[in-house]
Structure 1
Amino acid sequence: MTSTDADGTDTTEPSAKHGSLAMRLAARLIGFLPTKRNLDGTDWVNATYPGRSYPATAAIPWTLKRTHTVQEKRIDGLRTLTIRPLRGATRSHIVYTHGGIYINELARPHWWIIAELTKRTGAAVTVPLYRLAPESSYREAFPYLVSVYRDVLRTAQPEDVTLMGDSAGGALAVAQTWAFREAGLPSPGRVVAFSPWLDVTATNPAIPAYEAVDPMLSVGGGVQAGLWWADGDDPRTPLVSPACAPEDLLAVLPRTRIYQGTRDVCMADAVVFRDRAVAAGAAVDLEVYPGGFHVFPAFPRLPESRAVFADITAFLGRPALP
């Protein structure tokens, strides 16, 4: 949602002054975390990630287990989870790819997003635990994600499937549609992305203005993670950086909705991606929340987050089970 202040100020511009009081307070608290400092340059990521012990996935919260069934299976040898609500289930099926700049595992806030999604939409949610960089790359991730989608289509119609993700996982949600097409699979019904990381090269000249007000992210370490993910290939390849995709790929995107805040380095490339996709004829909407930080819907009680989840509920509908 785009808005202006009473004096006519455009609140889609990078600024720390906009957003609800709760959003501004949350952003201030996030600013005390070391994440932004660690990603300011490449020293920390280069010292931390190569040769590490592979990280563990955050445990499923007991509150989610109490209200959902949890199915775990191995697809292409990788752990894959499906969460289904015990009550109020619908035909909707979400494939949720988590963020973490391709180098971090699914974390507790991702479960908060997933819990809110199932509560609002009644959807089953499949969570592919793809292998991370620097141990792996996009070349291994996409064949696995294709296998996950094939498995989902055993019980769901493609029009009832929504690809979702946040940050790096938001880029995966977009790019999977092209991998599925290449594999001869039907297109999913929708794509939803929270603060997607759509160009790992960070060459957009508008990025520094957003980086200056982003309380969470800096560019340098992220670019290094993106290079690991590309693993020697051109980092502008569409499966790594969807904002760089050619017109023919952008044109075949399913209905896509992006939720983006203006205190986020990913905002600049979200605008580029939306504009290029719409020019190619795709139905891509960019919902902008002034003052929103990176993946702010991970905090579902924020007023802006409640608005996001209400909009997603309307976007998906609540298709009844037969």
Structure 2
Amino acid sequence: MTSGYAAGTDTVEPSAHDGSRAMRVACRLIGLLPTKRNLTGTDWVNGKYPGRTYPSAAAIPWTFKQTHTIQEKRIDGVRTITVRPLLGATRSHIIYTHGGIYLNEFGRPHWWIIAELTRRTGAAVTIPLYRLAPESTYREAFPYLVSVYREVLRTAGPEDVTLMGDSAGGGLAIAQPWAFRDAGLPAPGRVAVFAPWLDVTGTNPTIPKYEAVDPMLSVAGPVQAGLWWAGGDDPRTPLVSPACAPDDLLAAVPPTRIYQGTRDVCMADATVFRDRAVSAGADVTMRIYPGGFHVFPAAPRLPESREVYADLAAFLGRPPLP
């Protein structure tokens, strides 16, 4: 079911017939929703986001509060949440940057991911609720993320820190070590990302074949969001589009795991990033899940998701659950 590649140009052709039965059913159900049909073109982003009421993050589930300690603070004036499991805690500390094409706030499915991460790894998880586009840009986000990392290093060694994220947040997770280096901070121990968005320009010629079978995402709207996030700078700048980074930055990427489904437009640029990073000398492995939709680990009960979280636990040095 799963193919993992560490180098080369190997890939898996997208197909609606791949994946577990549960994955195929999930993709069909997602495809019945109006989301993708309503999100073609750019009218929806231009009509919805400029001048909006700024969104709020999803509330912490009350059941989560029964099993974790919750700490909230303002770092550089931005709300930042840290959760720790009451049972089975380890030394690991995850900094998790959420996805949402840089436009949308931390949502309920992100809490499902965080709950599974803490259950599987025993890690504390810090959630930086970075300011979003179009109100803000990457130029404000990265100094804040540097401050978050400094705060985490007060109680955790860099070798115990894992940067994680999904989609746009996966791009942030991969790019953050470059900002940390420029700030004179040590590199984190590792990076692990779900379906990272690694080139906001949407110009990869292989994207259309993935877009054709992706039940969730179209490309044009996110490209507009990426331009807002770049704030007038070149959208290929490495902190915005890590797949476009020069070799010296790619060589400095910490040990990295990418978990990527093939029914996902992000597959195209994840492959480019992996190949370029490995060629530059970085330790980057991509686990490819045929038939997987965008950020499928947000559905933790899928067989493929259980496999992802087991691999993650091993990557962080946690024995598998019985």
- In the alignment, structure 1 residue 60 sits paired with structure 2 residue 57: no
Q: Quote the residue 1:103 is aligned against.
A: 103
- Output the CA distance in 2 between the equivalents of 1:126 and 1:42: 33
Q: Quote the residue 1:7 is aligned against.
A: none
Structure 1 residues 151-186: Cα deviation after superposition (integer angstroms, max 9, x where no partner): 000000000000000000000000001000010000
Q: Quote the residue 1:2 is aligned against.
A: 3
Q: Quote the residue 1:6 is aligned against.
A: none
Q: Quote the residue 1:288 is aligned against.
A: 288
- In the alignment, structure 1 residue 242 sits paired with structure 2 residue 242: yes
CA contact (8 A) 1:38 1:45 kept: no
SS at match of 2:291: strand
SS at match of 1:213: coil
- After TM superposition, give the deviation of residue 224 of structure 1 in Å: 0.4
Q: Quote the residue 2:74 is aligned against.
A: 74
Structure 1 residues 124-149: Cα deviation after superposition (integer angstroms, max 9, x where no partner): 00000000000000000000000000
Q: How does 1:117-128 map to 2 (within 5 A)?
A: 117-128=117-128
- Output the CA distance in 1 between the equivalents of 2:279 and 2:165: 24
- Output the CA distance in 2 between the equivalents of 1:311 and 1:37: 34
- Output the CA distance in 1 between the equivalents of 2:34 and 2:265: 17
Which runs of no fewer than 5 residues in structure 2 stay unpaired?
Answer: 5-9
Q: How does 1:33-182 map to 2 (within 5 A)?
A: 33-182=33-182
Q: Quote the residue 2:7 is aligned against.
A: none
- After TM superposition, give the deviation of residue 36 of structure 1 in Å: 1.5
Q: How does 1:172-321 map to 2 (within 5 A)?
A: 172-318=172-318
Which runs of no fewer than 5 residues in structure 1 stay unpaired?
Answer: 4-9
- Same amino acid, percent of matched pairs: 80
Q: Quote the residue 2:32 is aligned against.
A: 32
Structure 1 residues 272-301: Cα deviation after superposition (integer angstroms, max 9, x where no partner): 000000000000000000000000000000
SS at match of 1:291: coil
- Output the CA distance in 1 between the equivalents of 2:229 and 2:34: 23
- After TM superposition, give the deviation of residue 33 of structure 1 in Å: 2.4
- Output the CA distance in 1 between the equivalents of 2:33 and 2:102: 20
- Output the CA distance in 2 between the equivalents of 1:16 and 1:178: 37
- After TM superposition, give the deviation of residue 62 of structure 1 in Å: 1.3
- Output the CA distance in 1 between the equivalents of 2:64 and 2:104: 22
Note the aligned Cα RMSD (angstroms).
1.2
TM-score w.r.t. the length of structure 2 is: 0.96
- Output the CA distance in 2 between the equivalents of 1:287 and 1:2: 6
- Output the CA distance in 1 between the equivalents of 2:255 and 2:206: 26
Q: Which piece of structure 1 moves more, 254-263 or 21-30?
A: 21-30
CA contact (8 A) 1:201 1:226 kept: yes
> Which runs of structure 1 show a deviation greater than 2 angstroms over 4 or more consecutive aligned residues?
32-35
